[in-house]
Structure formats: structure tokens, C-alpha cells
């Protein structure tokens, strides 16, 4: 393991990576000490904590970083639906109409984010593709992946709302735009779930599903969560089932959770 190689690779995608570490010189001091102690056996764990310090809580991503993260997911979705249309297995009629409409929305999101990132002086992410080897051969499984992508999208946008508070592009509130996309992704998710004969909303049980769906509904705050701001929703008023309590609130995924290999991160063509 070569930490400097890792940082070098990171700097290719994150120009500010050295800045992040430099402002935390103490971390490097510890690194030296740890190395001297010959504690390299624990290097992966140590590295994880090092990156947690550089990228973890307290390091608020810039607006451009948030928008490029959103763009990564939109490009992934757009390419997935393009592949789905190209594969030609979507039944004609309502299913084809739905997939075409969703693709049209994703393309509009990509265009809007691209324009916005440029307008803010940033460099938009391009070329994100859905991993060819992960593309399902049959329509039924394609819909499973579509559900995974849409429900991930809803959770991902929700997770960035706080990071876009007050962010503007001219007179346009970027938080509002993100919430407007967030609602459209939720409409997509609901419809795809319905196409799969699932409830349009997410029951508690989905957090226990097998991959690729299960991980979409887990995380630090899983979709099975029934407690909001320390209030046990199942005990509100007349009392509710865990499924109702969980389905009434959608939960966030953090950037790191979404980009993890078990979720959307594992669906990007390397």
C-alpha cells in the first residue's frame, strides 16, 4: 500500500486533496509516528481514519462538488436507461412509455446540471457510464436495477439538501432546484416500484432485501428507521406499524454511502 500513490490518484479527481491534508498537519505527524512504531499492519484501518478526517464530517463539500456528485448519479442513470432502451426488451406500450419518459427527465437533469456547473465556473463531470458487465440481460432484472438507481437518487439528493442551503446560481436557489429534481426522482422510484408490483413507498422490510436492492435501503440511517428526531413514530397518536412509520419518511444516504461499491459506486464503469 502506497499512501502517496493513493493521494496522487485522489488529486486527479479532487484538486484540493493536498489542501485537505495540509490543513491537518497533525494527521501526518501521527502517520510518521505510527510508521516508526512499525504499526503498518493496521495501515488500512489507519488510512480509513485518515481519509475520514480529510473527507469526513466537518468537511463540507463545495457547491461544485455537490453538483458534480449529483451529475455523476444523473449520468449513471441516463446511461443505464439508454442501455435499457437499446437492449430492446422493454415491452411496448406503458412500460416503454414510462422508461422513455424517465430517460427524458434524466437527460434534462444532466443538461441542467452541466449548464449550472459551467455557469458557476466549475468543470462538469462527463463520461460516467453504467458498468457494462453489471447490465442485466433480462427486462425483469433491468427493472430491479432501475429501482435501485431511482431510490438511491432520492436518498442521495436528500442527503445533499443541507449542503446546498443558501447556494445560488444568479437568482436561482440551487437547493430548490435540487429539491425539484429530488421530487421527480421519487416519482420515478414510485412508478418503477409499481411496475415491479412493489408498494410505491419503501416498507421497513426493504432494508433486509438481498443485493443489489438491500444496500440501497441500509446505511447509517436505514429506510427501516422508525424514529424521527428522537420521536418513536410507531407510538405517535393511535400507534402505527413499523412499515407505516418507516414508509412515511424517506431517509438520506451520505456521499460516501452512495459511492460505496455496494451501492451506486459499484455500478459505474471503471
Partner 1 sequence: MQRRSFFRVAGATVAASTLVLAGCGTDDPTPTTPAAGANVLTLAAGEVGLLNYAYILEQLEAAFYQKVVDAPPADLRAGEKEALTELRDHEVIHREFLKFALADKAIGTIEFNFSSVTFTTREGVFTAAKKLEDLGVAAYAGVGKLLSGSYLALLAKIASVEARHAAYVRDALQPNSFGTPDAGIIATTGDYAGLNVALTPAQAMAAAAPFLNFTVDVSQLPTT
Task: Map grid coordinates 468543470 to a residue.
Answer: 123
The contacts of residue 194 (CB under 8 Å, 6+ apart) are 200
Instruction: Enter the C-alpha cell of residue 77.
Output: 442513470
Q: Does 85 bind partner 1 (CB under 8 A)?
A: no
Q: Which is nearer to partner 1, 23 or 199 (CB)?
A: 199
Minimum CB distance to partner 1, residue 194 (Å):
6
Phi, psi of 15 (to 5 degrees): -60, -20
104 near partner 1, rule: CB under 8 A: yes
| Residue 95: CB minimum distance to partner 1, A | 9
Nearer to partner 1 by Cβ, of 16 and 250: the residue is: 250
Nearest approach in angstroms of CB 151 to partner 1 is: 10
> Residue 130: beta bridge partners?
268
Residue ranges in 134-163 that form contacts with partner 1 under rule CB under 8 A? 154, 158, 161-162
239 scored as a contact of partner 1 (CB under 8 A): no
What residues between 176 and 205 interact with partner 1 by CB under 8 A? 176-177, 179-191, 194, 199-201
| Locus of grid cell 421497513 | 204
Smaller CB separation from partner 1, 54 or 186: 186
Binding test (CB under 8 A) with partner 1, winner from 108, 144, 209, 259: 108
Interhelix angle for 139-160 vs 94-119, to 10°? 30
Nearer to partner 1, 137 or 238 (CB): 238
Determine, following the binding rule CB under 8 A, whether residue 59 of this chain makes contact with partner 1: no
d(CA 195, CA 203): 16
Please give the size of the binding site for partner 1, defined by CB under 8 A. 56
Q: Which is nearer to partner 1, 63 or 102 (CB)?
A: 102
Q: Which of 19, 44, 56, 97 binds partner 1 (CB under 8 A)?
A: 97
Using CB under 8 A as the binding rule, whether residue 240 contacts partner 1 is answered as yes
Show contacts with partner 1 in window 251-270 (CB under 8 A): 251-252
Q: Is 114 in the site for partner 1 (CB under 8 A)?
A: no
> Where do contacts with partner 1 occur on this chain (CB under 8 A)?
94, 97-98, 101-102, 104-109, 111-112, 154, 158, 161-162, 165, 173, 175-177, 179-191, 194, 199-201, 228-231, 233, 236-238, 240, 244-245, 247-252
Amino acid at each position: 500500500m502506497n499512501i502517496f500513490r493513493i493521494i496522487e490518484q485522489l488529486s486527479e479527481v479532487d484538486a484540493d486533496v493536498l489542501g485537505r491534508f495540509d490543513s491537518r498537519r497533525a494527521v501526518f505527524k501521527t502517520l510518521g509516528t505510527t510508521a516508526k512504531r512499525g504499526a503498518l499492519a493496521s495501515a488500512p484501518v489507519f488510512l480509513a481514519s485518515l481519509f475520514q478526517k480529510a473527507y469526513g464530517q466537518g468537511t463540507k463539500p463545495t457547491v461544485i462538488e455537490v453538483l458534480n456528485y449529483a451529475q455523476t448519479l444523473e449520468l449513471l442513470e441516463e446511461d443505464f436507461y439508454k442501455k435499457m432502451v437499446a437492449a430492446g426488451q422493454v415491452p411496448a406500450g406503458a412500460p416503454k412509455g414510462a422508461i422513455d419518459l424517465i430517460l427524458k427527465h434524466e437527460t434534462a437533469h444532466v443538461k441542467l446540471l452541466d449548464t449550472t456547473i459551467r455557469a458557476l465556473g466549475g468543470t462538469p463531470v462527463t463520461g460516467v457510464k453504467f458498468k457494462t458487465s453489471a447490465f442485466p440481460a433480462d427486462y425483469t432484472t433491468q427493472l430491479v436495477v432501475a429501482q435501485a438507481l431511482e431510490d438511491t437518487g432520492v436518498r442521495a439528493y436528500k442527503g445533499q439538501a443541507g449542503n446546498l442551503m443558501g447556494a445560488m446560481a444568479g437568482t436561482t436557489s440551487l437547493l430548490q432546484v435540487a429539491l425539484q429534481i429530488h421530487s421527480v426522482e421519487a416519482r420515478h422510484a414510485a412508478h418503477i416500484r409499481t411496475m415491479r408490483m412493489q408498494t410505491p413507498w419503501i416498507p421497513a422490510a426493504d432494508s433486509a432485501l438481498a443485493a443489489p436492492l438491500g444496500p440501497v435501503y441500509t446505511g447509517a440511517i436505514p429506510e427501516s428507521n422508525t424514529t424521527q428526531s428522537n420521536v418513536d413514530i410507531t407510538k405517535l397518536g393511535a400507534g402505527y406499524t413499523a412499515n407505516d412509520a418507516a414508509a412515511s419518511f424517506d431517509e438520506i444516504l451520505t456521499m460516501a454511502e452512495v459511492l460505496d461499491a455496494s451501492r451506486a459506486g459499484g455500478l459505474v464503469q471503471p
